[in-house]
Structure 1
Amino acid sequence: MRLWVGVLVVAVVCAAAANVLLGRYTVTIPDFLAIVGGERIPGATFIVMQDKLPRTITGVLVGLCFGAAGALLQRLLRNPLASPDIIGISQGASAFAVAGIVFFGATGLAVSGLAFLGALAVIAIGYAVTRTQRLAGTQFILVGLALAAGGHALISWLLSRTDIRTAADSVRWLAGSLNNATWQRIVILLLCAAVLLPLTVLAARALKPLELGDDTAQSLGSAAVRSRLLVVVTAGALCAAATAIVGPLAFVAFLAGPIARRLVPGAAVGTAALVGALLVVLADFAAANFFGDHVVPVGVITGALGAPFLILTLITANPNRKAR
């Protein structure tokens, strides 16, 4: 497992370096080091410091958040479909963000704040509805699907009642993009990481007895209800923070866990987080360089990757065996 973790770390670093140095505008390593050191190179300094480097750092951070969030939920609910994309967390964030854009003309960090609240609202509703069933995986996913459907309906209604310009702004946010990456948003993400990283470590530890079942967990002295609440809140906050900054990047949280488990059987949450970071950075490189002069939102690329993977998961799932 340590070997694969090391390989993934190197892969993320290499992908990040390629995203900064290569593409439509290439930057040599000496020029990059000079720019980071404070030297001003006409044209190159702006492209590196205001576009490529913030996009790449943001991509790594949100990928880590989405990957860890998806792995936590999938392991807790023992179902590969239990990701923020499927159970309504992303839709809740999107609904709140679009409502802010349509009703209040919200922009920038105001939209991010509303998206964060929307994601946490879905988590709170899902937990409140299913806690009497001990947060059983099937019930939580079904409630999440219902909330996701409601979020989609609300978004469609909001877009239908606003003007074309506002609707276009909303659709661009819904696509999920790193185009608005700034150093200010990176600082916010780092502050969130400083709070959520210790919680993620605790949540991952709390998962071990919970995966043995309620009776076993309680016999080992684990406070099952509190442990579940910790895992759900942590996963929701990770997804909320990432979605608030870049919008709903489709299927990153869904893909990271299964890919990590295929690489490393019994992969830890940290491994899934690294896979999520790698997915986002590679998708951003493809979005920025493989479609001519048009920069495609990175959420389009991740959605295109996730859709066939979801179909494959449904086809290969064994209904007589619980998902890992």
Structure 2
Amino acid sequence: MSTTHRPPGHGVLRVRGGSFLLHRRSTAVSGILALVLAATCVAYLCSGESFVPPGEVVKVLLGRPSPDELVVGTLRLPRMTAGLLVGLAFGVAGALIQTVARNPLASPDIIGISQGATAVTVAGLTFGFTSYTLLPYLSVAGGILAAALVYVFAWRGGLHATRFVLIGIGFAVVLRSVTLLLLTKADAAVASQAQTWMTGSLNGRGWEEVNPLAWALLLMLPAVVWAARAQRSVSLDDDTATALGVRLGRVRLGLVATGVVLASVATGAAGPVDFVALLAPQIARRLTRTAQIPLVSSALLGAVIVVLADLLARKLLSPTELPVGVMTAAVGAPYLIWLIVRGRTTGGNA
């Protein structure tokens, strides 16, 4: 007879091919965040130049006839869905990259991944690739290229967290300079389009942008499920993980690759919506009080942040609509400063 040993506060979910440890508080937090996200989505669909009653919103979502079908189903729902999916992707991407780097500053928009996606996308716009259907592919290519460069330069017989972050910040500065240089070479119309995209915006997003994003995230789902299990081994110290037979180099590379693709796909869909990948994992970890960053809670928090930020961006200066990236930066920049100051006063990582 065998017994299963698990940490206090955890349960075990058994599925075919293995089992998952479930932290009870994390599960409860995820449930609450799911409800908050649902409420935020309903508020988003209700709000706009004209208010739509929640009952009519529910009718549209259920496919029933409604006089507000055009406003809710055609204008607001695709944009909200894009924001939700972008937030999910950024939340998981930030959690995976911060887990590998063991540093809360290691988010895609800090260590050069978003800047790589931006530089390649702006280059595409500058040289005449103006189709929105092509931009996500350019962003993925740029994000992967930037991440590969950071990973190669940071690797010295292992992946040291501080070196990884510092080299990533250096690449971010260089790539941002490349982007600005490209903008000076572009004509006025292309430069204006690129600058709007660079702020991170969901304006004008329809189902033609949402469908490729949804399919890309669906294809990434098996990798995310694998990452949820592999994340536990990377959270251990190197000696313990090696003694348990974990191939840390491969696991870390797989986690980083998954995070990079998710962040690049999200960037391609909405532009570099800054600080979502930085905020969501850290807030999720503080809410759940877990040793490792919870992926589900991070994903849900990322979705809540983006949808709520876009709702505020639409309403605060109505009828003028702000880019969603402006709202996330207004919250994320002070949080980044707090992380840096806290890290200095505690003498270690924030």
- Fold match by TM threshold 0.5: yes
> In structure 2, the residue corresponding to 1:132 is in which secondary structure?
coil
Query: In 2, are the aligned partners of 1:180 and 1:246 still within 8 Å (CA)?
Result: no
Aligned residue in 2 for 1:172? 196
Instruction: Report sequence identity in percent.
Output: 37
- Give, in whole Å, the separation in 1 of the partners of 2:136 and 2:216: 13
Q: How many residues align?
A: 321
Q: Find 2:121's aligned residue among 66, 74, 97.
A: 97
Q: Distance in 2 between matches of 1:65 and 1:33?
A: 26
2:328 pairs with 1:302? yes
In structure 2, C-alpha distance between the alignment counterparts of 1:245 and 1:210, rounded to whole Å: 30
1:22 maps to: 47
Q: Is the 8 A contact 2:42 2:57 kept in 1?
A: no
For residues 303 and 316 of structure 2, what CA distance do their matches in structure 1 show?
20
Q: CA deviation at 1:261?
A: 1.6
- Corresponding position of 1:286: 312
Give the counterpart letter for 2:251 in structure 1.
S
Distance 2:298 2:324 in 1: 19
Deviation at 1:251, TM superposition (A): 0.4
User: Per-residue deviation at 1:56?
Assistant: 1.1
Which residue of 2 is the match for residue 207 of structure 1? 231
Partner of residue 146 from structure 2, selected from 122, 134, 140: 122
Over residues 273-321 of structure 1, what are the superposed CA-to-partner deviations in whole Å (9 max), with x where a residue is unaligned? Answer: 1111110011011000111210000000001110101111111125534
Which amino acid is the alignment partner of residue 199 of structure 2? A
Deviates most, 188-197 or 295-304: 188-197
In the aligned structure 1, how far is the partner of 2:64 from the partner of 2:157? 57
CA distance in 1, matches of 2:169, 2:58: 48
Within the candidate set 314, 337, 340, 1:314 is matched to: 340
Using the TM superposition, name which of 20-29 and 4-13 deviates more. 20-29
Return the letter of the residue paired with 1:291: L
Secondary structure, counterpart of 1:177 in structure 2: coil
1:75-224 paired onto structure 2 within 5 Å: 75-224=99-248
Is the 2:42–2:54 Cα contact (8 Å) retained in structure 1? no
Greater share of helix residues, 1 or 2?
1
| Structure 2 residue 38 is the aligned partner of structure 1 residue 13 | yes
**Which of 265, 271, 280 matches 1:256?**
280
Q: Give the whole-Å Cα distance in 2 for the aligned partners of 1:282 and 1:252.
A: 12
Tell whether the 8 Å contact from 1:61 to 1:277 is kept in structure 2 after alignment.
yes
The residue aligned with 1:244 is: 268
Question: How much is the aligned-residue C-alpha RMSD, in angstroms?
Answer: 1.6
Does structure 1 conserve the Cα–Cα contact (< 8 Å) formed by 2:109 and 2:275?
yes
Match of residue 35, structure 1, among 60, 76, 101: 60
State the shift of 1:215 in Å: 1.8
The SS at the match of 1:20 is helix
Residue of 295, 302, 305 corresponding to 1:269 = 295
> What is the alpha-carbon distance in structure 2 between the residues aligned to residue 228 and residue 242 of structure 1?
21
Separation of aligned partners in 2, 1:17 and 1:33: 8
Query: Which residues of structure 2 form unaligned runs of 5+?
Result: 1-24
Partner of 1:62: 86
Match of 2:17 in 1: none
Describe the SS at the equivalent of 1:87: coil
Report SS of the residue matched to 1:108. Answer: coil
CA distance in 1, matches of 2:183, 2:174: 14
Assess if the C-alpha contact under 8 Å between 2:275 and 2:328 holds in 1. Answer: yes
Q: Distance in 2 between matches of 1:51 and 1:244?
A: 20
Matches within 5 A, 1:39-50: 39=65, 41=67, 44-50=68-74
The alignment's TM-score, normalised by the length of structure 2, stands at 0.88
Specify the SS of the correspondent of 1:196.
Answer: helix
Structure 1, residues 233-275: CA drift from partner, whole Å, max 9, x if none? 0000110111110100010000111111221211511111111
Distance 1:206 1:214 in 2: 14
- Alpha-carbon separation, structure 2, partners of 1:112 and 1:236: 13
**Aligned partners of 1:205 and 1:34: how far apart in 2?**
39
Instruction: Say if 1:180 and 1:116 are closer, same or farther in 2 by CA, change over 3 A.
Output: farther
Q: How far apart are residue 129 of structure 1 and its match?
A: 2.2
Q: TM-score, normalising length from structure 1? A: 0.94
**What is residue 20 of structure 2 aligned with on the other side?**
none
CA distance in 1: counterparts of 2:312 and 2:305, whole angstroms:
11
Structure 1 residue matching 2:313: 3-state secondary structure: helix
